[in-house]
Amino acid sequence: MKKRYPRTLSSGANNTVIALNETEVGKLYTDDTRSDIGSEAEKMKFANTINSLIVKFLRLDELNDNTEMLVMERIYPMDFRAYEYEKRELWLEILEDELKELHKAGFVHRDLRRPSDVVGLKFDNVFLTNTGFRLIDVGISALKTQVGEKLFARYVTQELQEFEELRTFILER
């Protein structure tokens, strides 16, 4: 059984996210995962320099002696179904533009849609907020400088296909 932390917001396959306060959350890394936490932090910082689509990186910290955490802005998701079709269309157009801007800069999220064998909602990493759509969890994101042209192009193609599935999901509900 997975350890339950006070103020848990969500718990995925590898990490738990806890509320630190009203404006910050911590993604917890237990055991020796320095390379994972550092890699995720670097990708998040890179994406944050391009636009505001990816949740904002704040700092690396520790919860206790054996738990490190990636501290990010706290996002409060809203239900897109409460908004008119036309607003959803506009938000999706902006999301698409911001995704393409990240791609052009050499960043791809790679996790818009959950694989079918992973627990959770189909688009768990896409949040509607009062400023539009935002993305969380850059753990498997990729930078073109790290994976090269061929893999990066494949990842972008897959992400754009997932975006079209997201568009259908948002507009048909």
Q: pLDDT tens for residues 131-162?
A: 999 999 998 999 999 999 999 999 999 999 99
| Three-state SS at 48 | helix
Q: Point out the least confidently predicted range of 1-10, 12-21, 94-103.
A: 1-10
| Three-state SS at 8 | strand
Residue 7, judged by CB atoms within 10 A of its CB (0-12, 13-18, 19+), counts as exposed
Residue 135: its pLDDT value, please? 97
Question: Higher-confidence residue: 34 or 74?
Answer: 74
For domain 80-171, give its CATH number from 3.40.50.300, 1.10.510.10, 2.60.40.10, 3.30.565.10: 1.10.510.10
What CATH architecture is 8-73? 2-Layer Sandwich (3.30)
Residue 8: its pLDDT value, please? 93
What whole-number distance in Å separates Cα of residue 149 and Cα of residue 144? 6
Residue 117: its pLDDT value, please? 56
The rounded mean pLDDT for the chain is 92
Domain ranges of the chain: 8-73, 80-171
Question: Could you tell me if 129 and 78 are in contact, meaning their C-beta atoms sit under 8 angstroms apart?
Answer: yes
What whole-number distance in Å separates Cα of residue 50 and Cα of residue 38? 19
* Residue pLDDT, tens place only, 62-101: 998 889 999 999 999 999 999 999 999 999 999 999 999 9
